[in-house]
A and B are shown apart, each in its own frame.
Chain A
Amino acid sequence: MSRRFASSIGAALVAAVVSFPAMAGQARKPPPKSAAWTVPHTPWGDPDLQGVWNDATSTPLARPDGVSDKPVLTDEEAAEFQRELAYGLTRDRRDGGAQADVNRAYNEHWMDARRLTVTKDHRTSLIVDPPDGKIPPLVPLSPERQQARAARAGAAARFAAGLPESHEELSLAVRCIIRTDSPPYLPTIYNNDFQIFQSPGYVAIAPEMIHSARIIPLDGRPHIRSTLRQWLGDSRGRWDGNTLVVETSNFRTDDGVIFQNADPATYRITERFTRVGAQTIHYEFTVEDPHTWTRPWTAMIPWTRIDPAEQMYEYGCHEDNFDIVHLLHGARIREKNGETVPKRNPER
């Protein structure tokens, strides 16, 4: 039994993402033989990624300790894994006391139902490299970055207590500047949708939140100069066989722009999009920063086609962001009534 897993782990280490469906079949009956599926192409010859795609899943980014020796599960194990994850994630539980309850807003059907299902390949983590499925150990922060992190923690504590001092202490997501459109793309609780458009020389990826698009030139032009920095960086793409490889640089250096607040000077991100089936794209990202992680790491998240039955819809955010006023105005009122930020956050 373990030898089979060992060989499956070996298979998992193979870089090509196309091996995942094959690996998933290991513990199951192989699918019936049909005409080999080939990647469709656009009229101008690029692999076709056009459509609306959803990436929601309950499979955690990093492998939980209980399955540290199992990168892939059997059908029964995966079903149990999914049940336990769903139990932890569902918003329809009312147990755990009022503190837990208020944070579970709203009912489950306001959330993306797909986020309670594990990936079809039954992996125990989205991280595929390092092989243990965990984020690599962190490099000690420089004194400046430690200071920045302490400042963020202070603002976060004030936010959690509902007493933010100004809009600047709120996250970029709450301020409606960037949300899931900031790469790398990670599944979240709702609106896990992406629409891909293509034209000769371009691929455009439009995430639902917040209504933006990364329009990626494929003609080999250089990035904009390093003196120009953007919230979503600057992306360039190329085809590597059937895989779209995207390199993004020129990120702004504000807190929260770069993934996990890595060092803007040395952070690199590469994303790979591969159409592996009629209804599936494999999205893979590799991030590295010698000032943050001891080694690069890679995760793969399958995207499932949802159109034409389902669509991506406009996600206005700043336009009707009443919450900012509620949070700030409410904080000022409560301060007047003598409330202060508790020393220890009761929600921890």
Chain B
Amino acid sequence: MRTLLFFAAGGIGALLTLAVVPVTAHHAFGSEFDANRPVKFRGTVTKMDWVNPHAWIHVDVKKPDGTVDEWMIEAGTPNTLFRRGLTKQSLLPGMEVLVDGYQAKDGALRANGRDLKLPDGRTLFIGSDGTGAPDDATPKKKG
């Protein structure tokens, strides 16, 4: 455990109560998704809903017996991705994704997308090169 200069006394736990908005403030994921039901699978994207408050990625997952489960993966607000230069063209049907998350407590085929990756190991949506996003080296034009 690393030594912390400023939070030694209270620890990071204390920090979270001091944080302006605690991580669990508006949506306790633990209230809907089950920490005891981790899921890890590879699937094919059939659709992505670029909506708020949560984007949803629809993923078809082929089971060993050949049947297909239709999962809905909850993601974050797409507005953050828009500001990085991503658009609804950034994840199209047919793309493969690796889902690492937790299943809904009621057993539905729904999970929160704790960690979403592309098959080559890159985190989904992490990059935005060439899209004019703020961390892009290419020059931006107004509008």
Residues of A within 8 A of B (CB): 58, 60-62, 64-67, 77, 80-81, 84-85, 87-89, 94, 97-99, 101-107, 109-112, 124, 126, 159-162, 171, 173-174, 176, 179, 186-191, 208, 306, 308-311, 313-317, 319-323, 326-327, 329-331, 333-334, 347
B90 in contact (CB, < 8 A): no
Is A329 a contact partner of B53 (Cβ separation < 8 A)?
no
Q: Please report the C-alpha to C-alpha distance between residue A319 and residue B53 in the assembled complex, in whole angstroms.
A: 9
State whether A308 and B142 are in contact (beta carbons under 8 Å apart), knowing that A62-B18, A315-B77, A327-B31 are contacts in the complex. yes
Check A64–B31 contact: CB distance below 8 A: no
Interchain CB contact (< 8 A) of B126 among A103, A107, A314: A107
Some 17 contacts from A to B, beta carbons below 8 A apart, are A60-B15, A65-B14, A87-B4, A98-B35, A102-B102, A105-B74, A106-B116, A110-B76, A159-B31, A162-B105, A186-B20, A191-B77, A310-B83, A323-B53, A330-B106, A331-B106, A333-B107
B63 located at the interface, meaning its Cβ lies under 8 Å from any Cβ of chain A in the complex: no
What does the 1/0 interface line of B33-69 toward A look like (CB < 8 Å)? 1111010000000000101111010000000000000
Name the residue on B nearest A101 (C-beta).
B114
Within 8 Å by CB of A64, from B7, B76, B101, lies B7
CB proximity of A287 to chain B, nearest CB, Å: 14
Pick from A106, A126, A188 the residue with the most CB of B within 10 Å.
A106
* Structural contact, A106 and B75, CB atoms closer than 8 A: yes
Is there an interface contact between B6 and A64, defined as CB atoms closer than 8 Å? yes
Q: How far is the CB of B136 from chain A (nearest CB, A)?
A: 9
Q: Would you call B24 an interface residue if the criterion is a C-beta within 8 Å of the partner chain's C-beta atoms?
A: yes
**Cβ–Cβ contact A67 & B33, under 8 A:** no
> Are A103 and B125 interface neighbours, CB within 8 A?
no
Cross-chain contact A109 with B53 (CB below 8 angstroms): no
Return A295 CB to nearest CB of chain B, in Å.
20
Q: A105 CA to B110 CA in the complex, in Å? A: 14
Contact B112 A102 (CB under 8 A): yes
The CA of A67 and the CA of B19, in the complex, are separated in Å by 15
Please, which residue of chain B has its CB at the minimum distance from the CB of A56? B20
A326 touches B32 (CB 8 A): yes
Contact, CB under 8 Å: B84 / A103: no
B32 touching A327 by the CB < 8 A rule?
A: yes
Contacts of B143 in A (CB 8 A): 308
* 8 Å CB contact of B12 from A87, A162, A173, A188: A87
A residues in contact with B4, CB < 8 Å? 66, 84, 87
B57-116 interface with A by 8 A CB criterion: 74-77, 79-84, 101-102, 104-108, 110, 112-116
